[in-house]
């Protein structure tokens, strides 16, 4: 899916620009993110079961309506990089 007004452009924090104006950029990666402090365990039994269900496409609809109520949804781990790279 493409948005016609963004085709061939770069969206920055401040504005949409042409790539030639971008210059040198420094990417960053979120290797590990732990948001478990935002987790709110629901009280209802049916909802509590979903709170501990692994994140999969079949529960995406539920995740969108129950923010912060799925424990697995609060983790981001990059499995593309071996753990020893984190020690460098």
| Mean pLDDT, contiguous 10-residue spans, the chain (88 residues) | 76 89 80 82 89 92 91 74 54
**Rounded to the nearest 5°, which phi and psi values hold at 32?**
-135, 135
For 29, the domain range is 24-87
Which pTM value belongs to this model? Answer: 0.53
Q: How far apart are CA 50 and CA 66, in angstroms?
A: 10
Q: How far apart are CA 78 and CA 52, in angstroms?
A: 21
Establish if 6 belongs to a structural domain: no
pLDDT digits (tens, 9 = 90+) for 9-29: 988 888 899 999 988 888 776
Establish if 77 belongs to a structural domain: yes
Establish if 62 belongs to a structural domain: yes
**Rounded to the nearest 5°, which phi and psi values hold at 11?**
-90, 115
Task: Count how many domains the chain has.
Answer: 1
Establish if 53 belongs to a structural domain: yes
Q: How far apart are CA 30 and CA 79, in angstroms?
A: 11
């Amino acid at each position: 899916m493409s948005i016609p007004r963004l085709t061939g452009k770069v969206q920055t924090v401040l504005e949409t620009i042409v790539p030639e104006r971008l210059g040198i950029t420094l990417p960053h990666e979120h290797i590990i993110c732990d948001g478990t402090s935002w987790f709110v365990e629901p009280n209802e039994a049916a909802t509590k079961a979903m709170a501990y269900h692994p994140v999969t496409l079949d529960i995406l609809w539920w995740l969108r309506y129950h923010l912060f109520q799925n424990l697995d949804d609060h983790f981001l781990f990059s499995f593309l990089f071996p753990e020893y790279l984190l020690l460098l």
